[in-house]
Structure 1
């Protein structure tokens, strides 16, 4: 459970690092100086690493493989991004988002089956 919680926090920071500057539409995004965007994003990514690295170490020590850790991280990333997309960027969810999530959950299932 600590691995999952740390990965959730990690993904919240990384999603914000990658996409915060798009809020407000193309004109607003383009008006932000790219150097400032990069520096703010680096700061957020640093915090992300402070959660991701321990999450992976704890999960690996608990017996998860690197592949399992990565696929779980991607599944969490999709959920976190979906929420960010809707609540921060104001974009709607479509059936494609749910289908992609279902495929990723299948990948998680395949990596954990028989374990």
Structure 2
């Protein structure tokens, strides 16, 4: 992947430490993904609400980056391809290391595995 990519704005910080929609609804998520165009943090497709994919469907922003500690891969929704190289996005590059997966801990149901995709 080239360092300058249409659809990626490296200057946009993440919208917060958790999925924006799940936080508003007091929900929970499995993993987090960050929109590389606007910084929106949404939950992954394994999560009950799949907000990162819904954000793409609503906005057309094509790229997300993992928002998990130790992961820096990008995903292109249009081609369904993963890329391991791309521009460095504005910090932070992941949710707080103290945040549980799934998370946040206090909102994850005991039977959470029955709710994932």
Q: TM-score range by the shorter chain?
A: under 0.3
Decide which structure has the larger Cα Rg and report it: 1
TM-score with structure 2 length normalisation? Answer: 0.24
More helix by share: 1
Q: Which has the higher contact order (CA 8 A, sep 6+)?
A: 1
TM-score with structure 1 length normalisation? Answer: 0.24
